[in-house]
Amino acid sequence: MGKSKMTVLDVKAAVASLRTQLLGSRVANVYDLDPKTYLIKTAKAGTKTLVLLESGIRFHSTAFMRDKSNTPSGFSLKLRKHIRTKRVEEVRQLGVDRVVAFTFGAADEAVHLILELFAGGNIILVDHTCTILALLRTHTDESTGAKTAVREIYPMEGAENRKISPELLLTAIKNGAQNEKASIKDTLSRELDYGPALVEHALVGAGIDQKRKAASLDASEQAEEFQKLLQNFSEVDAMIDSLSAEGKVVPGFIVRKNDQPDSVYDDFGPVPLRQFEGRAVESFESFDKVLEIKSEKTRPPYGF
């Protein structure tokens, strides 16, 4: 089974793509396609943009006006009441989480529409004080007890990305070494903020087998393997930063299952990762276009 959900890197690239299209536009209408999927229609200087939001799964602009519900849902009506005719002031990722916030209007009139792409997903509307006005699903975090419900405060400030440093990498490896069975990939995916795909990309660049045990790695700054890994994570940081350049159109890539050009699509992203070298890869001028192709149900099966 191929990749089915967006990674943190995908979210960053998709945000960059949407900012160039949406900032300064005004919301014309909101439609519900199904209980978890919504379409926001915006317009700016005669150009109309449709933005698709699917709770827990994806967000991107779309060239297609899909079939919508004959009768707007209560949630759609709530969104229309609060965001229709307002200007899109901001689109941003909250910290390093798979969470995106769209801001409509300014000052005391501002509202934020928050799309959560992790776990069960959610779409949450909050006012300028971050008080929840409406949401798709109410839930309580079992680990913290924090409740996500109407009239509760939503935490808009996500954790900032921790760039790699010798100290951070040393600590991550040493923590993993406490479990003799833990692989280096699982350890670094858990201890760092990059996620499994980017960790694997860095390991391939450093020439380290992802299945190797973390305890077998020499956790000292002078070790050659350590320096190679540190350098590769520094390159990953630079790659992430490059996706945030204002006004930049982020390209997209779809990776096939093997080296055959007619094999099913297996993965997608804003950068070609090293673990996919040798496979057939298709390039697109924008990552937004890749997300659109991935979501099209009428095209041939892509293996996602």
pLDDT tens for the chain, 304 residues long, are: 568 789 889 999 999 999 989 999 999 999 999 999 999 999 999 899 999 999 999 999 998 777 777 899 999 999 999 999 999 999 999 988 899 999 999 999 999 999 999 888 999 999 999 999 999 999 998 888 889 999 999 998 866 778 999 999 999 999 999 999 999 999 999 999 898 999 999 999 999 999 999 999 998 989 999 999 999 999 999 998 888 766 678 999 999 999 998 888 889 999 999 999 999 999 999 999 999 887 764 343 333 3
pTM above the 0.85 mark? yes
Query: What pLDDT does residue 48 have?
Result: 94
Q: Please state, in angstroms and rounded to a whole number, the distance separating the CA atoms of residues 115 and 100.
A: 5
Query: What pLDDT does residue 83 have?
Result: 98
Query: What pLDDT does residue 159 have?
Result: 62
Query: What pLDDT does residue 296 have?
Result: 66
Query: What pLDDT does residue 145 have?
Result: 84
Query: What pLDDT does residue 241 have?
Result: 87
Query: What pLDDT does residue 227 have?
Result: 97
pLDDT in tens, 84-102: 999 999 999 998 889 999 9
Query: What pLDDT does residue 80 have?
Result: 98
